[in-house]
Chains A and B, each alone.
Chain A
Amino acid sequence: MKNPSDSGDARPSPGRFRPFVQAAFFAAACFAVLETVFPLPDWNPNLLVRFSPLLALTTFLSGGIVSFFLPSLLLILSALVAGRVFCGWACPVGAFLDLWDTALRRFLRIRRLRRPQRLDAHSLPRTFKFFILALVLLAAAFGIGLAGWFDPLSLFVRTTTNVFLPGLDHLLFLLHKNPLTGRTFSFADEFFRRRFLLEEPFPLHDTFLVAAFFLFVLLLSFLGSRAWCRFVCPLGALLGLLSPKPRYRRLVYSDLCTECGRCTVKCPPRAIARSGRTTEAPECLLCMECGTECPENAIRYSPASERDEPLLDPKRNVALTRRGLFAGTIAGFVIGPLLKPSSDENPGVIRPPGVASEREFLSRCIRCAECVRVCPSAGLRPTGFETGLSGLWAPRLVPRTGYCEYTCNDCGKVCPTGAIPNLSLVEKQKAVLGLARIDKHRCIPWHEGEPCVVCEEFCPTPTKAIKLSHEKITVKGTVKAVRAPKVVEKDCIGCGICETMCPVDGPAAIRIFPSPHPSEKPVRHESARSTAAAHRDFRTGFDHQPPASACKIS
């Protein structure tokens, strides 16, 4: 391509706006996570994960509700037009990594990040992301939900919900509680707590694995800048596959380029071949760093026309070989059975309300932790290895930590795939999560003969699934008359508030156990309900109940 006549002046690269655009998208993403709280706004704040075409694809493969993922068309379109521009300009994980990489370069002076990379285009690490993509898609086709582990949007929401927000929460709380700083920070604490947080800080003890995975993402940067995006991210791989030759791309004025190679060194994803003229579109993040670096001002970013030189080496377009695809498939077959839940039996944990089939739930859950974020009592927690590898980070109710609030059905509203069905409040109040059982060796009335009614007091079912009966308890030879709790099994929905509130130290004297026979579990929802229509009618929501103003009794 010939240089147009006006060239010669140093034109600043549009890349200089990139940090601001990234900051704006990052702030928007954080805002969406913050807003995922009662009362939910009119726009469903799970919007963020619904932008991912990877999750759309795996949701389609696992039989979830694909229509929720309409926003992901936007990303597909962006990839067709401008390649991985999402990765460079909008991805919140990418923005975080750019900041992190800069910090590593500036403050730790990691020299590797400044040298031309050793891990070159066709090296295994770069191909690795395509293996991951193949593995994730294959697993989804076989009913195993792996996409959420690696999808950057899910990763972002999960880590923010489980690590960053609780961290901020604990910090504010400590500052508020401290007598020296309390007066100064009580306002900030009160402000955030009233709007976005719970009364007490979020539990942090069981989110270690989530933090560890994000730490892994950060540590990858020691291999080179944006290492996660280049070597692991399956969404990046998918967007790259969609754009072997995007319309809008990096172009080089051939008569100006001196092949000095500075751009190849500077390029964060190392998507420029040694000559400096050839770009690998599936690797290029369109970050435009090369433009600011070029001493000859020979690089521009514009729609490629017919007359443009074919700058993309077609053989190197996609760093995916036939061998690689084959290996990925084999790996999928090997890893698949390891991950697959062996049966539909309850694995011994309490799943969110309305979840009927364990297998279906795990295959659809994308581990985004939107439900964990929205749960008003912090009862929904990310599972560790308790249910095996396949259940990692899927939500479960931990009743000693928090309970399923009787008047809340928000987890179903914010679940982006329908893994947790979007039940109406009336339906949810009938959904059985488990069954409460009393340990009479620990219960205060049953064991000590002292009065305690906490479980009965808190039981939210209208006619009380815990009743107090007059009992005569023999304690050390003396008979005491006391009212002691008993569970009415047919009324118990296993919401777990009794276990949360039980005043006995250590494990509660009343505990929720998963329903023994999932097939007999009364599930009163139809999957059809979890459709786009149900999704649309979501509001701050007291569906099927009169509005707040109607508080007169006839």
Chain B
Amino acid sequence: MKFREESYRVSNWSRREFLSETLLVAAALTAGCGRAAPAAPNGLPLRRRPRTGLKKVLAVVRGTDIPAQVRAAFSALGGLERIISPGMTVLIKPNMSWARRPEQAATTHPEVVGGVVRLCRECRAAKILVLDNTCNNARRSYALSGIAAAARKAGAEVQHLSSADMVRIPLPQPAPFPEWPIARAALEADVIINLPVAKHHSLSRVSLGVKNLMGLIGDDRGDWHKVLPPSLLALQKILVPEVTLLDATRILMNHGPQGGRLDDVRRMNLVAASPDPFAIESFGAEILEAGPDEVPLLTEARKRKLVAPLPRLEESL
């Protein structure tokens, strides 16, 4: 009889065991399935600590050979090897939000992205990610903008973003929202290189580097438009890209940020790079012919004393 009892014990759970196991498994399965992702993700910094070392200048390179321009712009800042050590993960954030073709100037030029990826590979970065949370369907935007193909060809890993790839991060105050989902890949990257395209925007007047960072956040980004400048500044404070390279090979003067009309596109043949995002904002506003007080983001940044004049290095290829 004893034998039977024992075998009974071995092959079956007690009621208590069953209940606790069930609850544990249920808790594990439901964790994170809801809308609220964990507020303080393990091991992730709440703000990136950017790597410094690039010269604090604004490099502007004129020419028609885009990869050469990109190389010259980064050389003027001292070279990407100052921030990228071998084995690092580099996140490249082009603007590929829209299912538009490169000539429509709504997205970063694929040759700019390809050039930067190649430079990162020369610095022996272990992993080069190219991604964006797109406005139009991601697969179409990645393909039509030509960026995915160019980045893959140059040796980058092109990733898609979904809400599963986001973590809720508290925004540095003062910001209109207490917290917001931000791409995990961005917080984990060793280096972020921001590759915006210069274009008109109906609300913020211009869409440049800081606005481009909105492609690294999730949820309903429409809510941000009510209070755009402080939200964008909070985002800049968290992500702090090491360097911003502005694609002004051709710029969108009107009907932004999506464009679609070639009449609104102006050819500039410019590429500008700087570690200071606000130097890029000021320069971009200038070439997009926005007056000093027309750009709400710059007005707010000036109020917070974030804008400082930088020496400008101009070069023609």
Contacts from A to B (Cβ < 8 Å): 37-39, 173-174, 176-180, 182, 186, 189-190, 193-194, 198-200, 376-377, 405-408, 444, 450-454, 456-464, 468, 483, 501-503, 542, 545-546, 548, 550-553
Contact = CB atoms under 8 A, between A and B. Distances in A.
A444 B222 CA distance: 11
A407 B144 contact: yes
A230 to B, nearest CB: 41
A191 to B, nearest CB: 10
Contacts of B38: 179
B101 A177 contact: no
B203 interface: yes
A548 B160 contact: no
Nearest to A459: B258
A553 B267 contact: yes
Contact of A180 (B28, B139, B201, B228): B28
| B101, B137, B161 interface centre (most CB from chain A within 10 Å) | B137
Contact of B144 (A186, A194, A548): A548
B164 A551 contact: no
Nearest to A453: B203
Interface string B247-278: 00010000101111110010100000000000
Contact of A454 (B137, B163, B164, B222): B222
Interface in B71-119: 99-103, 109-110
B202 interface: yes
A466 to B, nearest CB: 10
Contact of B137 (A176, A377, A468): A377
B31 A178 contact: yes
Contacts of A548: 101-102, 143-144, 146, 149
A180 B225 contact: no
Contact of A194 (B137, B139, B223, B267): B139
Minimum-distance CB pairs A-B, first 9: A503-B222, A551-B102, A376-B137, A462-B261, A453-B203, A177-B164, A176-B164, A462-B260, A454-B222
B162 interface: yes
Given A190-B159, A190-B160, A503 B220 contact: yes
Contacts of B201: 457
Contacts of A461: 260
B163 A464 contact: no
Contacts of B135: 458, 501
B220 A406 contact: no
A460 B31 contact: no
B109 A452 contact: no
A28 B255 CA distance: 45
A37 B29 CA distance: 31
B100 A177 contact: no
Interface in B207-230: 220, 222-223, 225-226, 228
A453 B164 contact: no
Main DSSP-derived SS at the A contact region: loop
A463 B137 contact: no
B149 to A, nearest CB: 7
A376 B202 contact: no
B160 A199 contact: yes
A283 to B, nearest CB: 46
A200 B138 CA distance: 10
19 contacts: A173-B164, A177-B33, A177-B163, A177-B164, A178-B33, A180-B29, A186-B164, A186-B165, A199-B162, A405-B140, A408-B137, A457-B201, A462-B259, A501-B135, A542-B144, A548-B146, A552-B103, A553-B103, A553-B262
Contacts of A483: 203
B161 A199 contact: yes
Nearest to A172: B164
B136 interface: yes
B269 to A, nearest CB: 10
A198 B137 contact: yes
A213 B100 CA distance: 40
Interface in B172-231: 201-203, 220, 222-223, 225-226, 228
A460 B137 CA distance: 13
Contacts of B146: 548, 551
A189 B164 contact: yes
Interface of B: 28-29, 31-33, 37-38, 99-103, 109-110, 134-140, 143-144, 146, 149, 159-165, 201-203, 220, 222-223, 225-226, 228, 250, 255, 257-262, 265, 267
B244 to A, nearest CB: 22
A460 B260 contact: yes
A200 B137 contact: no
A365 B143 CA distance: 30
Contact of B202 (A190, A199, A468): A468
Contacts of B203: 451, 453, 457, 483
Nearest to A176: B164
A193 B139 CA distance: 9
Contact of A457 (B134, B138, B257, B267): B257
Contacts of A198: 137-138
Contacts of A182: 32, 164
| B102, B255, B257, B258 interface centre (most CB from chain A within 10 Å) | B258
A451 B225 contact: yes
Nearest to A410: B140
A200 B163 contact: yes
B265 A407 contact: no
Contacts of A454: 222, 225
A551 B226 contact: no
Given A173-B164, A454-B222, 10 more contacts: A176-B162, A180-B29, A407-B100, A408-B99, A461-B260, A462-B255, A503-B220, A548-B146, A551-B102, A551-B109
Nearest to B249: A553
Nearest to A504: B222
B73 to A, nearest CB: 20
B264 to A, nearest CB: 8
A406 B136 CA distance: 9
B105 to A, nearest CB: 8
A458 to B, nearest CB: 7
A459 B136 CA distance: 11
A458 B138 CA distance: 15
Contacts of A552: 103
Contacts of A200: 162-163
Contacts of B265: 553
A534 B140 CA distance: 22
Nearest to B158: A194
Contacts of B259: 462
A37 B140 CA distance: 10
Contact of B32 (A179, A186, A189): A179
A453 B225 contact: yes
Nearest to A448: B226
Contacts of B258: 457-460
A510 to B, nearest CB: 12
A458 B164 CA distance: 24
A38 B140 contact: yes
Nearest to A376: B137
Contact of A502 (B100, B144, B164, B222): B222
Contacts of A553: 103, 250, 262, 265, 267
